[in-house]
Amino acid sequence: MDLVPTRSTLDGFTMEAANAEGIDVREAEPLVPLLVVTWNSLYRVMPLRLGSSDVLVQGGQFFPEATKARLVGSTFGGSFLKMHWINIGMHLEFDAAHEGGPIITSPVTEIRVARDRKTRRTH
Distances (CA, A) of 83 to 4, 40, 101: 23, 22, 17
pLDDT in tens, 96-115: 876 677 999 999 999 999 87
Within-domain flag for 101: yes
Within-domain flag for 43: yes
Q: Over the chain, what is the mean pLDDT?
A: 84
CB neighbours of 75 closer than 8 A, spacing ≥ 6? 81, 82, 90, 91, 93, 104
pLDDT in tens, 75-86: 988 778 889 999
Within-domain flag for 109: yes
Within-domain flag for 123: no
Q: Is 75 strand, coil or helix?
A: strand
Q: Give the residue numbers spanning the domain of 93.
A: 6-113
pLDDT at 1 over 80: no
Number of domains in the chain: 1
Within-domain flag for 121: no
Within-domain flag for 19: yes
Q: Is 8 strand, coil or helix?
A: helix
Q: Is 12 strand, coil or helix?
A: helix
pLDDT in tens, 9-18: 656 556 666 6
Within-domain flag for 120: no
End-to-end Cα spacing for the chain: 71
Within-domain flag for 64: yes
